[in-house]
Structure 1
Amino acid sequence: MVPTQDDSKTTTKFRVAICGGGIAGICLALSLSKYPDIQVDLYEAAARFTEIGAGLTVQGRTWKPLELMGVDATLRKAAAAANNVATTFQVMMEKKVAEGLPEFSKYAEPVWTGTIAYRVLVPVDRLPSFVLEKPALKKPLLHCGKNKHVVTYCIAQGTMLNVVALVSQPELSDTVYDGPWATECNPAEMVDSFLDWEPRVREVLKLAEKPIKWAIHDLRPLPIYVSHNVALVGDSAHAMTPHQGSGAGQAIEDAYILGSLLGHPSTTIDTLPHALKAYEHVRLPLANNVLTCSRDAGLIYDFRSECGDDYEAIGATLSHAWDWMGEDGVEEQLQKALLNMMEALK
């Protein structure tokens, strides 16, 4: 996000350039659309928007900014409509920021976590009867094992079972992944990774036809989100693992807070640095914490945390793994950000 002054239009207080049309970029453009005195230019490298199947988890705290942006009714219809509805997942890095800040460069590139995720959708009507008797169709189910875990839950009005099977090589964590980050793969590659697992998991995985193989990357927590007139949002600020289903939600919170601050009457091209710092003031600590919690959750699922395979310890730890969900929502964050900005303007 790069605001610039527009001298050609007296009614425009500044222009905002949004680099990347992922969930953060689109929501930021949407958040800014209600401010007629801000011109928005959205730049996306792809020729068109596509669905690549990563899906979008909308948690309770994520729904509030969507509601405040006025898209809740539309999303309700989408959630209850097409079976193929999904959202684009991509990692967007603003490398120009790193070029201008040498001390920032060590954080700027996502690092491979050593984990591969295989994702596939299985029609429920193809599942064996003994699988249908299990609770997987009624609520999300997590199967844990050493360096591996499998998540299953129903989507598309209960007609499809979403399956995500994750395999980790801890010794490869924080190395460079050699190959495309997302690609179709041979189903046997996924199935063979779980040959010694319980029958239910094996039978579900055998039904996979065209699994997508994802190399899971994340960022090291960044020390800053803002430099001059440039602000990072979404994955460019806090690309995270999918273990808590929170990456898109945090991107949406970024977009709502930043859009609201830029649209505030007190924000002008001269006061812009204070608005951006106020955004960073509230979003950086919260989003960085979620990034860390997400990676920690993956370690717990794979019996790689201090809990090991002690089920009681795992349960006790996971019971607090989502404590951040109860922290300030976007309305409280915005009030704190506005207070921070007003103090700076005195």
Structure 2
Amino acid sequence: MFLQVTQLTILLSGGGIGGLTCAIALSEYPDIDVEVYEKNSSFEEIGAGISLWPRAWKILRRRGLEKDLLEQTHTQPEEETAIAIRLMANNAANLHTYDVKGKGAVFSSFHRADFQRVLLKHLPAACKVNFSKHLESYARTADSQIELRFRDGDSSACDILVGADGIRSSVRRCMLAQQALEAGRTYMDQVPCLYAESLLSGVEPQRTGIVLYRAVFPAWKLRTKWPGHAAFKHTIQYQGKVAHLIAYAISRGELINIGIVDFRPDPSTTQGATERLKILCKDWDPEIMAIVDCVEEIKPWIVHVVRPLRSFVHKSVVLLGDSAHAMIPFLGSGAGQAIEDADILATLLGHAIASGRTVSEALVIYDSIRRPFAQEVAQKSEHQGHLYSEIHQSESHERFQDHFIGVGQRMTANLEWTWATTIDGMREQALQMLEESTRA
């Protein structure tokens, strides 16, 4: 457990959305020194589109990022009723649409590289970023610090290590290995130690059996084929019988980002991604095929998730974002949950150090609040995938429209929390719990 301290050194492993957001938030506190360690040699302009719901957007607004982010997107968050997603499907004869909407329901979309550049712009100069630092392991020193060892032979030390290093997190691997080792020592009479084995089962990501094909192409190509296409105004989700497509504009509307989910991939197939795409999209509606026909190169992504962890915290090591709860992307909430993690963690640590309270309590409270919520979002995301599969289970062509609307209403209900709630209550609860913990 930590003693009360007046200065704290925090090292973030991972310079993605969650890690950089957390670094920006922590840097607001003068008594916290922050460093970011990134395994890549630079912040390369890679990746496709990301999406944000109003719940996450309001955090970024509070942190002062809204103006610069608005310059990178064609969607403008509003408080009035907005169409977040246009859901589309077809039966034998007709293309059916259902608009997922509500007051303030805006689905903001960005190119990942554009979003990352805004975060870097707001990262204070005092926050040092170290590249080509792939964490190999860490250990606790005699003075209760954490010594980190990197693949290149270098080392560093900190008071708190934050694992924001993605779904294949090195921090998670080391943390769970240490927990399993301690569990084995505690339950030496149990051979094998089932608790230790259950901890280690969370090290490797779990394959979902879903493949997502991703592509980005210039918007002018779609404008040439279908000048007034709905994808220029709204996020489009099209549900075919064996695959699901999502498309939306990014980079100020200059690019179209698409993802096509293959629900029934054949691991033994020798087909390339382009050939598989033709099979998945066979007989789709012309309005949707106008999007598909613009794709020249598409890349497969085998979707994995992180098994539900027993804790996001072990002593002075803490996980956030995909390293803690990587989820199926059917709610478009992975980035948003990383931002929420970063906001709550930074708020608790900053308040603890500023008020002279023990930061160990702050980490425990972070875990007690964020872990159940993020894992519930992961369950909602999985449920959304099940709803997609129900769209083409209508009893008859004549009743398809009513059935489709019913599924759309259930999908809207599963999404409503993303625009109808904020993180404010969670932040207040976290701070209240921290105050009460020191009086107990």
**TM-score normalised over the length of structure 1:** 0.83
User: Does residue 1:127 correspond to 2:222, yes or no?
Assistant: yes
Please report how far the alpha carbon of residue 33 of structure 1 lies from its aligned counterpart in structure 2 after TM superposition: 0.5
Aligned ranges 1:150-229 → 2 under 5 Å: 150-169=245-264, 186-229=273-316
Question: Relative to 1, partners in 2 of residues 1:29 and 1:264: Cα closer, same or farther, differing over 3 Å?
Answer: same
Q: Matched residue of 1:343: which SS?
A: helix
Report which stretch shifted further, 254-263 or 293-302.
Answer: 293-302
Quick check: 1:104 aligned with 2:214?
no
Superposed CA deviations along residues 148-179 of structure 1, whole A, max 9, x for unmatched, are 1111222333333322111012898xxxx9xx
- State whether residues 114 and 251 of structure 2, in contact with CA within 8 Å, keep that contact through their aligned partners in structure 1: no
Separation in 2, partners of 1:251, 1:47: 23
With over 3 angstroms needed to count, the CA separation of the structure-2 counterparts of 1:296 and 1:171, relative to structure 1, is: farther
- The residue identity in structure 2 corresponding to 1:324 is W
Bigger mean CA deviation after superposition, 316-325 or 306-315? 306-315
Mapped partners of 2:266, 2:112: distance in 1: 36
Q: Which amino acid aligns with 1:31?
A: A
Per-residue deviation at 1:222? 2.2
Instruction: Quickly say closer, same or farther: Cα 1:85–1:270, change in 2 above 3 A.
Output: closer
Residue 316 (str. 1) matches residue 392 (str. 2): no
For 2:23, the equivalent position in structure 1 comes to 29
CA change 1:87–1:73 in 2 (3 A) is closer
- Which runs of structure 2 are paired with 1:296-307 in the superposition (5 Å)? 296-303=383-390
**What is the CA–CA distance in structure 1 between the aligned matches of 2:112 and 2:343, rounded to whole Å?**
27
C-alpha distance after superposition, 1:202-254 (max 9, x if no partner): 34323212212211111232221111111111111111122111111110111
Q: In 1, distance between residues paired with 2:73 and 2:205?
A: 31
Partner of 2:380: 293
**1:75 aligns to what?**
69
Does the CA contact (< 8 Å) of 1:114 and 1:171 recur in 2?
A: no
Of 69-78 and 38-47, the range deviating more from structure 2: 69-78
Q: Matched residues in 2 for 1:123 and 1:112: separation?
A: 32
Structure 1 residues 199 and 244: CA distance shift in structure 2, 3 A: same
CA distance in 1 between counterparts of 2:111 and 2:229 reads: 23
Residues 1:4 and 1:109: Cα distance change in structure 2 (over 3 Å):
farther
In structure 1, what residue type is equivalent to 2:305? D
Other-structure match for 1:235: 322
Change (3 A) 1:265 1:38: same
Give the corresponding residue for 2:426. 333
Aligned length: 329
- For 1:225 and 1:253, locate their aligned partners in 2 and report how far apart those are by CA, in whole Å: 14
1:204 corresponds to which letter in structure 2? Answer: I
CA deviation digits over 1:287-307, x for unaligned, max 9?
A: 111111112212222339999
The code of the aligned residue for 1:152 comes to A
Residue identity matched to 1:23:
I
How far apart in 1 are the matches of 2:422 and 2:253?
A: 30
Q: After superposing the two structures, state which structure 1 stretch, 284-293 or 127-136, moved more.
A: 127-136
Q: Aligned Cα RMSD in Å?
A: 3.3
Q: Residues 296 and 305 of structure 1 are in contact (CA less than 8 Å); yes or no, is this contact kept in structure 2?
A: no
Q: Return the letter of the residue paired with 1:69.
A: R
Q: Secondary structure at the match of 2:12?
A: strand
Change (3 A) 1:84 1:209: farther
Letter in 1 for 2:245: V
Q: Say if 1:133 and 1:71 are closer, same or farther in 2 by CA, change over 3 A.
A: closer
Post-superposition shift, 1:31? Answer: 0.7
Cα deviation 1:70-113 (Å, max 9, x = unaligned): 22222223336x98844579534220111022232223322121
Residue 182 of structure 1 is matched in structure 2 by none
1:95 to 154, 173, 183: 173
Q: In structure 2, how many angstroms separate the alpha carbons of the residues matched to 1:45 and 1:328?
A: 35
Paired residue type of 1:215? I
Q: Deviations over 1:12-42 (max 9, x none)?
A: 6221121111111111111111112111122
Percentage of pairs with the same residue: 30
Q: Name the CA distance, whole Å, in 1 between partners of 2:3 and 2:425.
A: 30
Quick one: which amino acid aligns to residue 321 of structure 1?
A: N
Q: Report the residue type matching 1:96 in the other structure.
A: C
User: Which is worse superposed, 105-114 or 254-263?
Assistant: 105-114
CA distance in 1, matches of 2:59, 2:223: 40
For residues 267 and 277 of structure 1, the distance between their equivalents in structure 2, rounded to whole angstroms, comes to 18
Alignment of 1:113-152 (within 5 A): 113-127=208-222, 131-152=226-247
SS in 1 for 2:374: helix
Counterpart residue type for residue 163 of structure 1: I
Unaligned runs of 5+ in 1: 178-184
SS of residue matched to 1:125: helix
Q: Corresponding residue for 2:436?
A: 343
Matched, 1:66 2:31: no
- The 3 A distance-change label for structure 1 pair 227 and 52 is same
CA contact (8 A) 2:72 2:114 kept: no
Q: Which amino acid aligns with 2:222?
A: L
- Of 28, 38, 46, which aligns to 1:52? 46
Q: For structure 1, which segment, 93-102 or 306-315, has the greater mean C-alpha deviation from structure 2 after superposition?
A: 306-315
Mean alpha-carbon deviation: is it higher for 258-267 or for 326-335? 326-335
